[in-house]
Structure 1
Amino acid sequence: MALPLSFFERLPKTDLHVHLDGSLRLETILELAEQDGIQLPGRTPAELAKAMHLGENTGSLVEYLKAFDVTLKVLQTEDALTRVAFELGEDCAKENVRYMEVRYAPMLHTRKGLRLTTVVEAVLEGLWQAKEKYGIESNVIICGIRNISPQSSLEMAQLAVAYKNRGVVAFDLAGAEYDNPAKHHRESFQLVRDNNINVTIHAGEAYGPESIHQAIHVCGAHRIGHGCRLREDGDLLHYVNDHRIALECCPSSNVQTGAVRDLATHPIKLYYDLGLRVTVNTDNRLITDTTVSKELWLCHTQLGMTLPEIKRMILNGFKAAFLPFHQKQSFLRRIARELSAFPDDEAAVLASEPGLSATIVPEVTQPASTGTA
């Protein structure tokens, strides 16, 4: 009695781990490139998708990140940043995402001379426009990049401090994880923590649990991006659980980067069963070719997670949001009421809605990983 994807599109939800520069529309990339005279590795959406290996298992995080070479080319103007931020809000709102935290590194959008403050404000403007039109709430997470200099990360941290309470809610460290330890960027994390700013760090994706340990104990992470390899260290896993450090899980992306072999072996169900605060996210809507609804549906169809379990993971998203306590509490009350309107039994859901039919559960077809993890 697997529920169809259309059902999950109706559920209210969050996306706490979504990269702006990995979540454009293909048509928008082509239009922006034509407008600015930018050469792309394809002239049609199909050609571009093939050249960027969208939705494919690339085998490693480094290979996966190469698609950003294309998206960043067209994200170097104020208008482009505002447009893409608005379209991301629009796309998320149409699948009933109520709250999202959009992350990106402003320093990667200055190739044509944009000021860092202009980059931040252009994205905030686009997100505000989406809120005005669709009601979707969003905030920004500013990223440092592991494989760029610690000084650059410090500049991003300073930017996060400058825009605290103005739409920026956290600081992150993204980029190639292997051989680029977070501890090299500790000055950036010290700055944001001194200013009472939230911290989330990509860790345990292309490197082992030592990376997660460092993110938490050296850099002070309040949430962990991905955390696939946390299961390799039971003691650390229990620490994460005991301290309610949320995991920003991105199942399909983790297969594509080689962090896990396939969806069937993704640890999200194990983490959930052990009581960890797991959340479900997209990572990159374009590059991973996914939506939050699809990720929840895959948890249901591929990992056998029941509707009550899906509902609790959705609530985890609101619990883990970097929002003021009273705003978060209000969200949780409202979303809990909405979710309670849906029966907990899949058969009851199908019986109560004649237009809804059970889906055939697809088999996992991703090839085995050749990645570093």
Structure 2
Amino acid sequence: MNMASIRDDELPNATGIPSAARRTDISPPPALEVTEELLHALPKTDLHCHLDGSMRLKTILELAEQQKVKLLADTEDGLAQAIHMGQVCKSLDEYLVAFDVTLSVLQTAEALYRSAYELAVDAAAENVRYLEVRYSPALHLQKGLKMTTVIDSVLEGLRAAKRETGIKYGVIVCGIRHINPQTSMRLAELSVAYKNRGVIGFDLAGAEASFPAKDHKDAFQLILKNNVNCTAHAGEAFGPESISQAIHYLGAHRIGHGTRLREDGDLLNYVNDHRIPLEVCPTSNVQTGAVTSLAAHPLKFYFDYGLRVTINTDNRLITDTTVTKELWVAHKELGLSLEDLTTILVSGFKSAFLPFREKQDLLRSVNQEIATTLAAFETRPKMVRQPA
């Protein structure tokens, strides 16, 4: 049976009974220990990754020096502290300080190219096979760049990384909730123009409270009429009504975060029944206060209930994370097993904004790579600890 091409509800579990929660035929050896090394070696996706939140500290400092931009600190350690890297923030304003810093140096074609290239190279280094990079061109115009130049610069950087590492990628253009809907429409038109030229989707990002998704429905109507994929940040800092608007007003094919979906059982079942994937970013949700702790995160509940969940970084720099780290905390803090994690990895590839045939080929390759990697780790000699 070709596991990559059949529907979720056709996938058998260990008892032979179809299960929506179990989405891969890979059964890891029961005794195989989950380690960060193993999780690093497995093929992964990162479907929710912001360009302006995923730069290298060194790059920010070098770009600031070249562009004569004054930063909050002039060393990597100092800058990390200033942007609250990896720290739980007291408020959204505190969290957003980091984006003020990164955007201050992302206003030239060269900086955009370099940041996109380095992000893809860093992702490939932890065996991310497919990366979707999102950002809003409207936030990179402070020094007079055209939106088309912004898009082209990022795509050129990603292409260079692909030539070097083989990583597959796509760009998601973001509308911003608190910027006027007319700007979202311009960005939607840009996305349509760049369809099949590297842009694979459209998103709505930004503060949810006081900025409802339905205000931007015209932009999403243009996106849907042109058969472009779309997602939307929803249910991160606002209730399930935000998710409902993203689905029913915007037609979102995926939901970014969806942390508060559990508060509305009827909507949760709708998302499950329609196989709408959730782009889950566990550590980021703790950092921003969307959940009080990793232990309180709904990821495991969503997975156990049968929702299609994917694990992502959100902002690699600001949250100080990688996909490998996110998988590790899902195992250590939430109790997800190796079988659970491999299922989630496959769900990431299934949820990618890729054409069906290309996705099918990629899934075949990924399933084989997962099986090969697990077998290789199973046959490795066990480390024997010597008594102290």
TM over 0.5: yes
Contact 1:315 1:332 in 2 (8 A): yes
Is the contact made by 2:286 and 2:294 (CA closer than 8 Å) also made in structure 1?
yes
Matched residues in 1 for 2:104 and 2:97: separation? 12
SS at match of 2:214: helix
Kindly indicate whether residue 321 of structure 2 is the aligned counterpart of residue 290 of structure 1. yes
1:1-373, aligned counterparts within 5 Å? 3-343=34-374, 349=377, 352-354=379-381
**1:172-197 CA distances to partner (integer Å, 9 max, x unpaired)?**
00011111111111111111111111
Distance (Å, rounded) in 1 between the aligned partners of 2:255 and 2:328 = 22
- The runs of 5 or more residues in structure 2 that have no matched partner are 1-31
Q: Is the 8 A contact 1:63 1:257 kept in 2?
A: no
1:336-361 alpha-carbon deviations (Å, 9 max, x no partner): 111122449xxx95x63237799xxx
Aligned AA (2:74): R
- The 8 Å contact of residues 120 and 167 in structure 2, kept in 1 or not, is answered as yes
How far apart in 2 are the matches of 1:93 and 1:132?
Answer: 12
Q: Distance in 2 between matches of 1:27 and 1:76?
A: 17
Offset of 1:135 from its aligned partner?
A: 0.2
Greater Cα shift, 125-134 or 149-158: 149-158
Residues 310-351 of structure 1, C-alpha deviations (whole Å, 9 max, x = no match): 00000000000000000000111110111122449xxx95x6
The offset of 1:59, in angstroms, is 3.7
- Amino acid in the other structure paired with 2:54: S
Instruction: Measure the CA separation in 2 of the matches of 1:14 and 1:356.
Output: 30
1:141 is paired with a residue whose SS is strand
SS of the residue corresponding to residue 228 of structure 1 reads coil
Tell whether the 8 Å contact from 1:2 to 1:300 is kept in structure 2 after alignment. no
3-state secondary structure, aligned to 2:328: helix
How many angstroms does 1:288 deviate by?
A: 0.6
Whichever residue aligns with residue 353 of structure 1, its letter is R
Matched residue type, 1:241: N
Query: Matched residues in 2 for 1:265 and 1:319: separation?
Result: 27
Letter in 2 for 1:78: A
Whole-Å separation in 2 of the counterparts to 1:355 and 1:121: 49
What's the secondary structure of 2:365's corresponding residue?
Answer: helix
Give the conservation status (yes or no) of the 8 Å contact 2:42–2:373: no
State the shift of 1:62 in Å: 4.2
Cα distance in structure 2, aligned partners of 1:280 and 1:166: 26
Distance change (3 Å), C-alpha of 1:116 and 1:340: same
Q: Secondary structure at the match of 2:359?
A: helix
Q: Is the 8 A contact 1:60 1:256 kept in 2?
A: no
User: Tell me, what secondary structure is at the counterpart of 1:110?
Assistant: coil
Contact 1:252–1:295 (Cα < 8 Å) also in 2 = yes
Which sections of structure 1, spanning at least 5 residues, go unmatched? 359-373
Residue 96 of structure 2 aligns with an amino acid whose one-letter code is L
Query: What secondary structure does 2:86 align onto?
Result: coil
Greater displacement, 61-70 / 253-262? 61-70
1:298 and 1:261 mapped to 2: Cα distance? 15
Residue identity in the other structure for 1:202: H
Identity across matched positions, percent: 60
Given that 1:61 and 1:206 are in contact with CA atoms closer than 8 Å, whether structure 2 keeps it comes out as: no
SS at match of 1:341: helix
2:27 matched to which residue of 1? none
Residues in 1 aligned to 2:237 and 2:93: alpha-carbon distance in whole angstroms:
9
C-alpha distance 132-343 of structure 1, shift in aligned 2 (>3 A): closer
d(CA) in 2 for partners of 1:23, 1:151: 27
Aligned CA RMSD, in angstroms, stands at 1.6
Residues 96, 356 of structure 1: CA spacing in aligned structure 2 closer, same or farther, 3 A cutoff? Answer: farther
| Aligned positions, number | 354
The whole-number CA distance in structure 2 between the counterparts of 1:189 and 1:2 is 45
